[in-house]
Amino acid sequence: MGRHSQPRHRGCGCALVVAWVVLTLGVIVLLRSCLFDRGYDHSYEGSWEGSPAAEPYYNRNSFRVVGGRCVYEGAADIVCPTGVDVSAYQADIDWQAVASDGIGFAMIRVGWRGNTDGYLHEDICFEQNYAGASEAGLPCGVYFFSQATTADEAREEALFTLDLLAGRELAYPVVFDYEPTGGHRIAAIDGATATACARTFCNVIADGGYEPVIYGNRYDLQHLDTAQLSDVRVWFAEYAETPSREEPFSLWQYTSSGTVAGIGTPVDLSLDLSAAPSTH
């Protein structure tokens, strides 16, 4: 009798499994829909999923991956250097080895605002990174990780940055790194406030004699009214083999897992596309 009861129990079990699978698939579809509705940038975390019909700012056919690094090969006479961006997370860096490994410039974190306490901090490796990169012959720029919730806080961050720079010469810009992601004090920032923060930071940096640039991925940049920032260049982050952004940008951060001699951790890599012609 026990044997005859087995098929019946299996049937009930199968029905439950099927129902569970259907329910799970439904939840996944709903979550994906919600993520896209809120503008979540899937291309930032993986390969580009944009529309093939869209015309990016740079010709897709001009990019190749060589030795694990993206390169621009649109024309023989155009050079688009590869750069690293570093902070205290990379600890001690052998900058001579970095320069010998095909790296053409360095973007160095100068400071940051705490994403919970809101205090301003100098990057503890800024001085040694600037000195080391400069001694190795690498042109430098800097970036400040902002968590400004008001234009006054953005002004404070810019003045703090200028104080830390203390008149140092920079071949690359001073970057406003503004990432309204979950868990940060600016996670729920509105567009008008975010734009005011970016505009204020950039104005103060320009008044200090440096070129300001705004950094962000597609999701970050959606918080900004680009019409009010049309004079400011963009450092675009998208982890892919070709950049899909259609609007102007001059720096492209294409990975956070690059390998560079002299740096003991994975590192962000970018291309300077300032000399590359656009498709527009």
Distance CA 244, CA 55 (A): 8
Handedness of CA 121, 127, 132, 134 (dihedral sign): positive
Q: Is the distance from CB of 48 to CB of 35 less than 8 angstroms?
A: no
Packing angle, helices 151-165 and 191-207, rounded to 10: 30
Retrieve residue 270's tokens.
Answer: 């970018």
Given pLDDT bands bounded at 50, 70 and 90, which one contains residue 122?
very high
pLDDT in tens, 197-215: 999 999 999 999 999 999 9
Model confidence at 156: pLDDT above 60: yes
Q: What is the mean pLDDT of the chain?
A: 84
- pLDDT for the residue 49: 35
Counting residues of the chain whose pLDDT is more than 90, the rounded percentage is: 75
Output the pLDDT for position 54: 72
Q: Residue 53, Cα to own-chain centre: how many angstroms?
A: 24
**Does residue 24 carry a pLDDT above 60?**
no
Least confident of 17-21, 86-90, 178-182, 230-234: 17-21
The model's pLDDT over 106-120, given as tens digits with 9 standing for 90+, comes to: 999 999 999 888 999
Task: Tell me what pLDDT residue 139 has.
Answer: 98
> What average pLDDT score do residues 238-247 get?
95
Confidence grade of residue 89 (pLDDT, cut at 50, 70, 90): very high
| Cα→Cα distances 190→71, 187, 224, 226, Å | 36, 9, 9, 14
Q: Are 99 and 260 in contact (CB under 8 A)?
A: no
Q: Give the residue carrying structure tokens 């002299």.
A: 262
134, pLDDT greater than 80: yes
Instruction: List the alpha helices (DSSP H) in the chain.
Output: 2-37, 42-45, 95-99, 126-135, 151-165, 191-207, 218-221
Q: What is the mean pLDDT of residues 211-232?
A: 95
Task: Answer yes or no: is pLDDT of 130 > 50.
Answer: yes
Question: CA separation (Å) from 78 to 62, 123, 249, 269?
Answer: 11, 34, 17, 19
pLDDT digits (tens, 9 = 90+) for 43-77: 333 332 334 447 899 999 999 999 999 999 988 89
| Per-residue pLDDT at 243 exceeds 60 | yes
Residue 266 has pLDDT above 60, yes or no: yes
pLDDT interval class at 98 (50, 70, 90): very high
Contact 56, 246 (CB under 8 A): yes
Residue that has been written with the tokens 């979550």 in this structure: 31
Above 90 in pLDDT, residue 96?
Answer: yes
**Predicted confidence (pLDDT) at residue 233 exceeds the cutoff of 70:** yes
pLDDT at 1 over 80: no
| Nearest residue to 87 (alpha-carbon basis) of 114, 123, 121, 113 | 123
Compute the distance between CA of residue 104 and CA of residue 158 in angstroms, rounded to an integer: 26
Tell me which of 9-23, 79-93, 144-158 is least confident: 9-23
